[in-house]
Amino acid sequence: MSAPFRATSHQTYHRRRVRLIGLLPAAVAVWAVMRWRPFRVEVAGPSMEPALFAGDWVLATAGGRIEQGDVVVIRHPERPGIEMVKRVSGMPGDQVRAGRVLGPGQWFVTGDNPEWSTDSRSFGPVSREAITGRVRFVYWPPGRIGPVRRRG
């Protein structure tokens, strides 16, 4: 005679299996946030027109490689606590205004609308540490939603 529990054990004591496929999107999202540390910035003023307008809200990511033509967020070198959105127009080793060659770790940033922009033409090159992120995407207002493109 067999034990009475043997016949029922397969029917009553099942462990639930975790579905890894369901966890994969969440894991990818967590990894992306940790890797790129996204943050939001409000564009103020006309210095980046026509690419970005005053009142645009953009998503930027910290870290990563910065290249010529990227739109970046920088700390204002002369006004602590102020951040600005500008385009990279010169990288280390590039020749910029008046024949000046940028040294290692020096970046030249300008606004797309030079008549209304305070940028490297007035305060000089910025360090890589002053660049807090790369602008990736406009998410507000709804009519302007889309990626922020590099100019080259």
Q: Residue 122 catalytic?
A: no
C-alpha dist (Å) from residue 91 to 9, 10, 35, 50, 140:
69, 67, 24, 23, 30
2, 9, 86, 117: the active-site residue: 86
CB 69 within 8 A of CB 151: yes
2, 47, 89, 122: the active-site residue: 47
Task: Give the residue among 76, 86, 91 at the shortest CA–CA distance from 135.
Answer: 86
CB 86 within 8 A of CB 41: no
Q: Residue 86 catalytic?
A: yes
Give the three-class secondary structure for 99.
helix
Catalytic residues: 47, 86
